[in-house]
Amino acid sequence: MRPWWWFVLFAPSPNGAYLSHPPPHSQTPTSIRSPHNQKKPPTAASASTGTANLLSPPFFPPKAREQGTRDDRARARAAAVRRGDREGAGRDRATGSEDSREAAMKYVLVTGGVVSGLGKGVTASSIGVLLKDCGVRVTSIKIDPYLNTDAGTMSPFEHGEVFVLDDGGEVDLDLGNYERFLDIKLTRDNNITMGKIYQSVIDKERRGDYLGKTVQVVPHITDEIQEWIERVAMNSVDGTEEPADVCVIELGGTIGEKIFLPHNNSGILDAGDIESMPFIEALGQFSYRVGPGNFCLVHVSLVPVLSVVGEQKTKPTQHSVRGLRGLGLIPDILACRSTQPLEEHVKVKLAQFCHVPIPNIINLHDVTNIWHIPLLLRDQKAHEAILKVLDLQCVGKVSREPKLAEWTDRASKCDRLKTPVRIAMVGKYTGLSDSYLSVLKALLHASVALNRKLVLDWVPSCDLEDSTAEETPDAYEKAWESLKGADGVVVPGGFGDRGVQGKILAAKYARENNVPYLGICLGMQIAVIEFARSIMKLHGANSTEFDPTTKTPCVIFMPEGSKTHMGATMRLGSRRTFFQVNNCKSAKLYGNVSYVDERHRHRYEVNPDMVPEFEKAGLSFVGRDESGRRMEIIELPTHRFFVGAQFHPEFKSRPGKPSPLFAGLIAAASGQLDHLLQRPCSVLSPAGRCTCSNGGPKLKVYPNGHVMKPLKGLVNGHYSTTGNSAIPI
């Protein structure tokens, strides 16, 4: 005698279909493994004939049943691809249907374990480089679990620099790594945050899209995450209209940590960051839904070495993988971070306890510069492991073996450089190298292109001020010693009045002593203020950001900005700058073009009403926006190299195509400026033709809308410091 609930859940309807799910004994192991042998989900008509949907168990969500037919078709096409049936698998793709696009896309998920800061972003970027050199088209997504909508309102002390995209997106700095490594252009949607997901779900709930259902983390948040990933993965990022073949996803946060339960001090839980859990659940569902052959999980973990015994320890990685598997994600490849190459017996042990084949255990040991990372992956055949998991080797997607000739030459050249060029970085956040990551990379790109070894001196701007001389004279003397010993000076962007006087003093020193100077955003504005005070004798000149009551406002708040809402209210994204003077240094560095497109992030600007007075005194505004009233580039014609830019040229610098303004600074600091001005394309473009700094001769112009680590010693093996990084915050 069967209980009553058996008839509700498993009794067949008059047409022979089950009202809810087939009885357990009807599912053979073969039907579980093969989607072709599974029974089709009930139609809407058959489901409405009984009460099964009202009593469905919670582990069979209604939405999953509704999507079953589509998922079965996608898995069937993936199976056809694995069998080599290209015609059958690609039949729907030719029609451009949504299902075919989902089946064609492959996903590589990069997670991290044990500790943060292992280099997941560089690893994900390097995987993209490797696949791209195999002939596979790649896009990238970064997932950040924090509740902020974006990184725009976050302090550099919290999360490093805010990277700005062409469309005005203020995103995590890892997207800068993706763009630099892969030479692609991403959008704000390529950075998924928990804040964006919750905001989207709540907006849908307010519109009534959920038809009165109780909105929950599962399935609504997890479904939103999966839909977002699928939608963004189909966007073209390389200037063509075609979507990529592989989407590399980096999951921020750490998996496999030990969380002590507050109600039971003796109990611990293997888990990741708490805010990461909805993403982990969503990605677990996603990996099952896209099916085998379409999803590859690369787990980056730490293999530490105890200095006392000198033995590489695998236990942290074992715990991390155990936690990952417990959350429903099974790693296909292990990328092990270590100081030295992994010993063979360590790989054997990891394979035994983590259930990962030895060929799929990749070692990422410390190298002299990060350009060696793609080469490490190539030498260990990481591309073969990834392509095998993704079933790309058997379908003709891969057209060649990765050579990475350009990366090999660049990494080797960087290691061989001997002649130094010393640059002083005068900033507010010099205690955190990630705060100016793009500036560091732009300086590195330019110095390598000009055959110079970059030596970077960190100079806290507040240490240059007179108040520091009284409070901490040693820091004051060291800061001025670094500034005076530099071949060139960079003053990057920033916010707030702390350290501003020190930046003004740095600009004054560079101007008076004919030292090459590059001011970015705020660095340009303080150069204008210093010029007004010293040359024009306007001693009260200031910015309304620092002194709202100043009688000589050289820098003012932009009228379209907002003083009440901080997020996404600045002038953001790619904007066009028109050169006003043809023979100026900046125009020559850009290849004598009439305009350039660069990325902006500011809410203050040079007062246009004072521009005639500045130009009469000798300060040239060589670049302006399309209206002619917003100042973009300044120069001192009589100076060796004194340039300020309201935009951020560092965001479009690439390893093979350095930013022209940074190249000009390095060239002036190393005595090569005249040669560079005569033949800028020979240095700034490997193909010998002039392009914009993002590698494209024509860029899209977006509308004007609203759209922690302490630095010690070497950074990636390239930068040295005089020890000024230990500053009070």
Q: Whole-angstrom Cα distance, residue 340 to residue 168?
A: 41
H/E segment holding residue 476: helix 473-484
**Strand pairing class (642-645; 517-520):** parallel
What b/e string do you get for 495-526 counting C-beta neighbours within 10 Å, with b at 16 or more? Answer: eeeebbbbbbbbbbbbbeeebbbbbbbbbbbb
| Other residues' Cβ atoms within 10 Å of the Cβ of residue 26 | 11
Can you tell me the distance from the alpha carbon of 258 to that of 271, in angstroms, rounded to the nearest whole number?
6
Q: Distance (Å, rounded) from C-alpha 24 to C-alpha 148?
A: 45
Nearest by Cα to 444 from 512, 539, 368, 344: 368
Residues 6+ apart with CB under 8 A from 556: 543, 544, 604, 605, 607
d(CA 364, CA 302): 10
Concatenate the DSSP letters of all residues of 649-679 into one string.
GGGG-BTTB--HHHHHHHHHHTT-HHHHHH-
Among the listed residues 521, 554, 584, 692, the single catalytic one is 521
Which two tokens mark 329? Answer: 């994600």
Q: Is there a contact between 489 and 518 (Cβ–Cβ < 8 Å)?
A: yes
C-alpha distances (whole Å) from 314 to each of 56, 177, 271 are 44, 29, 18
Please state, in angstroms and rounded to a whole number, the distance separating the CA atoms of residues 669 and 456: 13
- Catalytic position from the list 159, 445, 639, 648: 648
Beta bridge partners of 270: 258
CA–CA gap between residue 297 and residue 111 (Å, rounded): 8
* Amino acid occupying residue 126: S
Tell me the longest C-alpha to C-alpha distance in the chain: 101
Q: Which of the residues 161, 224, 281, 650 is marked catalytic? A: 650
Q: How far is CA 213 from CA 67, 68, 92, 277, 350, in A?
A: 18, 20, 34, 22, 46
- Alpha carbons 202 and 198: distance in angstroms, whole number: 6
Q: Is 727 exposed, middle or buried (0-12, 13-18, 19+ CB in 10 A)?
A: buried
What number of H helices and E strands is found in the chain? Answer: 28, 25
How many angstroms separate the CA atoms of 665 and 447, rounded? 9
Q: In 292-419, at which residue ranges do the beta strands (DSSP E only) sit?
A: 295-302, 305-306, 311-312, 333-338, 361-365
Annotate 414-469 with DSSP letters as a single string: HHH--SEEEEEEEES-TTBGGGGHHHHHHHHHHHHHTT-EEEEEEEEGGGGSHHHH
Whether 648 is catalytic is yes
Residues forming the active site: 521, 648, 650
